[in-house]
Chain A
C-alpha cells in the first residue's frame, strides 16, 4: 500500500469516525447514558436535514444561520418526545421500541408522501479544498470533522463535568437511587431529549449536505448509531469515541482490499465477533436487564 493511500485512508478514518460519532451522539446521550431507547433518532436527524434545507434553500436564509435555526426548531421536539413517547414507558424497552417504530413509520411515510422522492440536497457548508502535503481534503469534510470533534468534547464535558451530566448518569444507572436523591427524572430526561434532538439536527444538516437528503436517510443513521453505542458500551461516551474510530477505521481501510459491500459485510461481522466475546462493549457497564 502506498503512502498516499495509507494517509488517505487515515484521513478517511478520522472523517468517517467523526461522521459516525456525530450521528451517534444524540442517540448515545439517551440510550447509553440514560437507557432510553430512542428508535426515532434517525427520523429526527432526517427532519433536521429537511428543515435546514427548507430554511436555506427554499427560504434562502444563510446556511449557517439556517443550521442554528434548525437546531432551535428541532430542540422543541425534545420535551414532546419525553412527555408523550418516553415517559409513559419509562424503562419498558419493548414498548419504547414499538412506539419509536410507530412514530418513525408515521413521519417517514409523511415525508415520502409529501416530498414525492425527489432527490434534494443542501449546498455544502464549506467549499474548497485544503491541501496538506500530498493529500487534499475537502473543506466540507474538514468542517464536519471539526464540528463532530467539538460536539464530542462538549458532550463528554457535559456528562462528566457538569452536575446535570452526573444526574443523567445517575438516572441511567440507578433509577431508584436517583429518585431518592431528589433528581427530577422527567426534567432531566426532557433536557436530555432536547440536547439529543439538537445533536441530531446538526448531524442531519451537515450530513444532509454531504450525502443528500431522502425520507429514509434516518434508517442508516439508527443502525450506525446503534453499532457505536453497543460497541462502545452502555454508559460510556468515551466508548463511542473509540468505537467510532474502530468502525471508521474498518470502513476506511477494508474497501482498499475488498469490494464495497464485502467490506460492509466484513465490518459488521467484526462487530458481531467483538460483541460475542465481550457483550458489554469496550467500556460498557453491565446492563441490568
Chain B
C-alpha cells in the first residue's frame, strides 16, 4: 500500500522492526548453510529454489495488476535461451549475456504487453497461455541454434562448476530482487497496480493511464522472470523447453496459492515448502506432486489465504475476531 497508508498500518501492528529482524536472520542463516554442509546436492536444490522463488514472486507481481499471465514461464525461457544462445554461439561472456537475456525478455514482455493488456482479464489469460505455447514451439523449431526438442546444451558456465559460488550469487540476487519487488508493491506504483486491478474505469477516471500501468507490471514481472531464466541457463549448462511450458507456470500459480496469493511472502513460502520439503525425504520424490496437489486442494477448499493465513486462522479460533478476505481485521458483528 502506498507509503502514506502503510505507516499507519505498521503502527497498529506494533514494532516495524520485528519483520526486518526476521529477514536479516533468515539471510544470515542461509549464508551460513554452505559452510555447514558438504552436500553439493543440497546447495543445488536451494539454488533452484532461489531462482524459482524469483519467478514465482514475479508471477504474483503481474497478478497484482489484475492480469493472469498464464504464459509467464515462457519469459523465463526467453531469458534463458537468449542468454544461452548468445553465449554459446557468439562467444560472449555470460556476465554480459545474462543482463542482455533479461533485457530481451523484458522487451518481449513490453512488445506483446500493449496489444495483450487491452484484453479483459479472462481473454488476456488465454492469449498469454497461447503465447507461452507459441514461444515453446518457436524454440523447438530453432533447429541447431536452439537445440530444438532435445534442448540447448553446452552453455558456458557463469562461474565454473562448483555449486557454492552460485549459491552466494543467487542468494544475493534473489534477496535484492525480492527487495525491489517488495518496494514496487508497497510504494505508490504497487498501489496504482492494485487500483487498476480492481477497477480500470475508476483508475483511469483519476488520471491513471491504466494501459501503461498494466504493461508496466508486465515489464517488471518479465524482467525478473527473464533474469531467473538467464541465471538458470548458465548454472545448469543445459536447458530444455519442458522447464518453461504451461506446466511450469502452473507450478508458480500453485506455489503462490499454497503460500497465499494475498501476501508478498506467500509465493516465497509456497515455493520453499513445495520445492525443498520433498528433498528432505528423498525417497518420496515421486510422490511430491501428491503433496503439492493435496495442499493446493486443501487451500482452495478451506484456506483461501493460503498457508500465510494459518496463524490468522488459528488466532480466529481463540478470539472472536474475524478477518476479511484481505486479512484486514474488523469486529465480528
For residue A230, which residue of chain B has the nearest CB? B126
Contacts of B138 in A (CB 8 A): 261-262, 265
Cα A265 to Cα B286 in complex, Å, equals 32
**Is B202 interfacial (CB-CB < 8 Å)?**
no
A276→B130 contact, CB < 8 A:
no
Query: What string of 1s and 0s marks CB contacts (under 8 Å) between A215-258 and chain B?
Result: 00001000100110010000000000000000000000000000
Give the shortest distance, in Å, between B224 (CB) and chain A (any CB).
Answer: 23
Which of A9-17, A98-106, A123-131, A148-156 participates in binding chain B? A98-106
Q: Chain B at the A interface: mostly helix, strand, loop or mixed?
A: helix
283-302 of chain B: CB within 8 A of chain A: 286-287, 289-290, 292-294, 296-297, 300-301
- Minimum CB distance partner of B245 in chain A: A219
Q: Say if the beta carbon of B122 comes within 8 Å of chain A.
A: yes
Q: Is A271 interfacial (CB 8 A cutoff)?
A: yes
How many A-B residue contacts, CB cutoff 8 Å? 99
Contacts of A112 in B (CB 8 A): 286
Task: Name the distance in Å between B9's Cβ and chain A's nearest Cβ.
Answer: 26
Say yes or no: B296 contacts A101, CB within 8 Å.
yes
Contact indicator A109/B290 (Cβ below 8 Å): yes
- Are B130 and A268 in touch, CB under 8 angstroms? yes
Q: Any chain A CB within 8 A of the CB of B127?
A: yes
- B158 on the A face (CB < 8 A): no
By size class, the interface of chain B is 35 or more
- In angstroms, Cα B247 to Cα A124, docked, is 31
B residues in contact with A259, CB < 8 Å: 141
Q: Which residue of A lies closest to B131 (CB)?
A: A272
B217 at the interface (CB under 8 A from A): no
Residues of A within 8 A of B122 (CB): 93, 287, 289
In the complex, what residues of A have CB within 8 A of residue B55's CB? none
Least Cβ distance of A230 to chain B in Å?
A: 5
Give the size category of A's interface with B. 35 or more
Q: Does A264 contact B (CB under 8 A)?
A: yes
Residue in chain B with minimal CB distance to A272? B130
B294 and A275 within 8 A (CB): no
- How far, in whole Å, are A89 and B130 apart by their CA atoms in the complex? 25
**Cβ-based interface call for B172 (8 A):** no
Q: How far is the CB of B94 from chain A (nearest CB, A)?
A: 27
Segment from B33-41, B84-92, B113-121, B311-319 that makes contact with A: B113-121
Q: Is B246 an interface residue (CB 8 A)?
A: yes
Distance in Å: Cβ of A206 to nearest Cβ of chain B: 24
Query: Is B290 in contact with A106, judged by CB distance below 8 angstroms?
Result: yes
- In the complex, 10 of the A-B residue pairs with CB atoms within 8 angstroms, ordered by the A residue number, are A88-B301, A99-B297, A102-B296, A102-B297, A106-B293, A108-B289, A109-B286, A109-B290, A260-B141, A262-B137
